[in-house]
Structure 1
Amino acid sequence: MFKKISVQSLFTISLIILFAVNTLVLLTIFDEWNSDGPYSHGFLGIIVVVYVFYLQRHRLQATNLSKGHYSLALACLVFSLFVFLVALLSSIQQLQQLAFYSTLVSLFFCFYGWKMLRAFFIPLLMLLLIMPVWNMLQLPLRELSTQAGVWGPELLGIAVDRDHYRLSTAGGMFDVDPACSGLGFFMVAALLAFCVSYFNKLSTKRTLNFLIISLAIAIIANWLRVMIIIVVGTYTEMNHFIVHDHLTFGWIVFAVCLIPLIYIARTFFEERPEDESQELIQPETSDESSLNKKQASITLIVLITFVAASYWIPSRYDENYAFVEPSLDNYQLVSRDKPYSPSWKPYSQGATQERFSYYIDKSLGFQVYLADYYKQEQASEMIFVENYLFDEDFWTEIAEKKLAVPGSSSLSQANLVVLKRSAHRYRLVASWYVINETVTSDKKMAKLAEVKAALIGKPGATLVAVSFDFDGENQAMAEQQLSEFIDTYLNSNQS
């Protein structure tokens, strides 16, 4: 079958299949690259990566993998595709992006072998550095930048009060948002370090040394940006342009900090002599250059099987899915399945339908909000960053915690948000998720239940939220009354 087909052609076919299946994933990556966020260097980075691959094209050579190496490569491919399938079914964007990269590397491993994977380690690592999968670094970098925003101005005699990530001085208030963490500088510095390592043919030890220096300079550059903005904003009472256009100012500071980094690279990390790196560019011997037809067949079959599964599994759903509300004996139903509420405006993007019901018990009133999804997809799901349970223009969040539901066997606690609108108007909003009879308030468990439900062809899910207004005098009593209503709601028979 593959007698006249080269390994490059088969690898190209595999890439075309992989890219076609991951079109939406690629679009999310391009969106991150096209934004003002920490991955805005992506388009420039991919040009560098492609150029490095082009320079090393003569080293690409098919390898007849040993059984041990191919078993490892195939295991990596199967695992990557499995993670991709789970990420697809659970609509976790960054996990999909990471699985896409892992699958790409695994395919490279399957077709070209371990030696080629090692030879192309630097460009593959550079590709990983421009993937938008590094958000977990924002938290520690943000913490360091916030602390630097306290220490720096105080060294100049400016008193700074810190409230989480909000810094207050006599001249104004400064929020150290996730975008101010310096993650963009951090990733650009890492990419630059490996570029220098590749073009200067640095050893592993010297590469790590230069990487540490580059990352340190990137962190210091962001500290300087934060400190300068706070100092200038304080003395100008927030009227200087760098306070408002801190993004452009930050890149200017980073560019200035690159000057000593470039000097260090040219002075202390010069190119290695050619003979030291000669071993690294020797091609494979000719007796190992033939492609094993069986290995190629298995690789393509595994890829196509998972591709088929990624289309077939999500295609099974009930278009008529809707959560059936229970019939409550102790509460009077005033209205049910109303598409709109005049006093409550939550938002669930991509919901199949949104419904409101209202229950009363003597002087107590409880409003129930249901957001049904007959299936969930990326950006059309219960757990999504743009969804909200209250309008921030009318309500201020006081606290976010868990509400115990001791009488329920299906739900031990619900998510609770405490809101305030005026001195005598407060609101409690409790919420949880229902996925194929699984009831939970935990987002991770909801995602796991989402995957299980999709696998058995019943992906229907509903966000359930209950609001209860009170005067703010006795919050503990209000929480107890809300908990009792939820307990009754969960334990009643469905009508």
Structure 2
Amino acid sequence: MEVKLQKQEVWQRVAPFMVITIIVAIYLPTFVGLSAQWTQWDESLSHAYPLLLWFLVLLYKVGPLCHARQNLWIDLLLAIGLVVVSICWFLFNTIQIKILEQLILLPILFLALAFAFGVKILWQLRFLLLMPVFALPIWDYLNNTLVQLASAVVGEMVRMIRIPALIDGSSIFIPSGHIMIADGCSGLRYLIISLALGYTISYLNGYREKGLILSLLIAGALGLLANWIRIFVLILVGYYTEMQSSLMEDHETFGWIVFALICFPAIYFAPVIKRVQATTGVAGESLGSKRVLLLTLLLMPGFLMGKLVAATNDTTAPTYSLGDIGFVSHTSSLPLPPSLPAARLTRKFIAPNNIYLQINQYIPQTPRDRLVPYIARQYDSQFWLQESVKVIVVGGKKVRVEQLRQKSGLKRVIQAQWFDVGGYTTATVAQAKLLQIPAVLSGKQYFSVFTLQAECMQLDCDKTLQSLLHFSESIQ
């Protein structure tokens, strides 16, 4: 009898890991993509593998988990939910919306565990099961905002101590050099890791919802503060050593020292709440093989649909009418060439008043190619500052208009840009990503980027802007 109970306990401890293994096996393409990001050790998700290992250790410690019988209607709703999220995964994977494809893994995990062990167990483990969110790349979307915040805070700190410096956006010019608050200085890594530490401490210390939220707020503030102090100290070092200190070239270790000095005392003094860990024990019913098989089948629709999707794309690049207002082909670059992924076809034109037009066209050739490629910042923020940006309607289409200024200079460039995704036009990359769905379903798998530019000849750029909009209206 004792041997039987020991085997039952082992199975109940292993069962949740079997569910996770099934999920990884079925949705392997997504995990392969995540693994590529997790192994970039100098990026924002370099902590992912240690965090996930710790998550698995904690999941093992809450065991053994048994299957709790529940109402048939609940099982039916969970089964429908599993099929729906599986199909959603297929859709996101097919149209290459990576962030949604990765995020859908969380509801897949929640529904799978609820189906396998019961909703009651899922509720008991709700705090633990949210921990993997700190290993997903959703946080990268905060990077630009954090750069702007760091620039504003550090700039104000420099003004307070009255160092002779010119603060221009994310650039700080001191007499001996130029210090750029670039993407790597946003503090994103410190923020995510501090939030993950705060969340882990909250879980281990038994905090409830209010305590968890307060802990995350404090952790996030400390992570950002550590980054701001790091940048400020580097500016002081650069000023007083005339940019000759080795710290100006290699300050990675210095940043983590500052982070540790600020965050570790907070970890040590975090209050502990004694609690009794709720477990189901080995006396309950174990997860049966039939339910495991049924769970696997419910997770399969998205995988099977992916295998049935056509692997070829016969779409040809469309042609566009440029109107009759003077566009002619040319080979010279735009005043500020945008940083765009390599296109299948790139065409350049010029019109009177030095209005430049560039059309980049993309057509995926394999299922792994994105219809809308990844488009990050299109200009070097070390040398250019975005003075204004707005979306307006011109000629029945939305156009994103930016005014850019060269840092520590007077050169200004006006840019009007829009996208065509399978016949659907939009002015933002985010909307272009969503428009992939109707484009793929309609069979028109092409993506075009229209970029109009002109250099301002007046300080206010109004005449240049009106001229640019007039030419963009003629393009259909």
2:216 is the alignment partner of 1:238: no
Counterpart residue type for residue 349 of structure 1: P
Structure 1 391/114 Cα, relative in aligned 2: closer, same or farther at 3 Å?
Answer: closer
Give the equivalent residue in structure 2 for 1:324: 319
Which residue among 441, 452, 473 is the counterpart of 1:455?
Answer: 441
CA positional deviation for 1:251: 0.1
What's the RMSD between the two structures over aligned residues?
4.2
Q: How does 1:334-413 map to 2 (within 5 A)?
A: 341-344=331-334, 348-349=340-341, 351=343, 353-356=344-347, 358=349, 367-374=357-364, 380-382=370-372, 384-385=374-375, 388=378, 401=389, 406=394, 408-409=395-396, 411-413=397-399
Give the equivalent residue in structure 1 for 2:44: 38
Counterpart residue type for residue 52 of structure 1: L
SS class of match (2:130): helix
Distance (Å, rounded) in 1 between the aligned partners of 2:232 and 2:167? 14
What are the Cα deviations for residues 350-400 of structure 1, in whole angstroms up to 9, with x where unaligned? 53x213254667x87755434232469777454523584x7999x967756
Which residue among 112, 118, 121 is the counterpart of 1:113?
Answer: 118
What are the Cα deviations for residues 106-160 of structure 1, in whole angstroms up to 9, with x where unaligned? 3222222223223433432322223332234546655554444245455555466
Give the equivalent residue in structure 2 for 1:60: 65
Structure 1 73/138 Cα, relative in aligned 2: closer, same or farther at 3 Å?
Answer: farther
2:404 is the alignment partner of 1:441: no
Alpha carbons 1:348, 1:371 under 8 Å: kept: no
TM score, norm. by length of structure 2: 0.78
SS class of match (1:413): strand
TM score, norm. by length of structure 1: 0.75
Distance (Å, rounded) in 1 between the aligned partners of 2:163 and 2:33? 46
Give the equivalent residue in structure 2 for 1:26: 34
Q: How does 1:182-197 map to 2 (within 5 A)?
A: 182-197=187-202
2:61 is the alignment partner of 1:47: no
Alpha carbons 2:357, 2:450 under 8 Å: kept: no
CA positional deviation for 1:277: 0.7
Distance (Å, rounded) in 2 between the aligned partners of 1:218 and 1:462? 40
Q: How does 1:153-168 map to 2 (within 5 A)?
A: 153=158, 156=161, 158=163, 162-168=167-173
Alpha carbons 1:431, 1:463 under 8 Å: kept: yes
CA positional deviation for 1:290: 5.4
CA positional deviation for 1:323: 1.2
Give the equivalent residue in structure 1 for 2:3: none
Instruction: Give aligned-pair identity as a percent.
Output: 20
Alpha carbons 2:386, 2:405 under 8 Å: kept: yes
Distance (Å, rounded) in 1 between the aligned partners of 2:219 and 2:38? 26
Alpha carbons 1:21, 1:307 under 8 Å: kept: no
Counterpart residue type for residue 341 of structure 2: Q
What are the Cα deviations for residues 390-435 of structure 1, in whole angstroms up to 9, with x where unaligned? 7999x967756458664x23x25354566889x9998655432222
CA positional deviation for 1:321: 1.2
Structure 1 263/105 Cα, relative in aligned 2: closer, same or farther at 3 Å?
Answer: same
What are the Cα deviations for residues 19-52 of structure 1, in whole angstroms up to 9, with x where unaligned? 4242443234324xx3323322222222222222
Give the equivalent residue in structure 2 for 1:15: 23
CA positional deviation for 1:450: 1.3
How many correspondences in the alignment? 461
Give the equivalent residue in structure 2 for 1:431: 417
CA positional deviation for 1:164: 3.3
SS class of match (2:313): coil
SS class of match (1:22): helix
Counterpart residue type for residue 303 of structure 1: L
Distance (Å, rounded) in 2 between the aligned partners of 1:403 and 1:73? 42
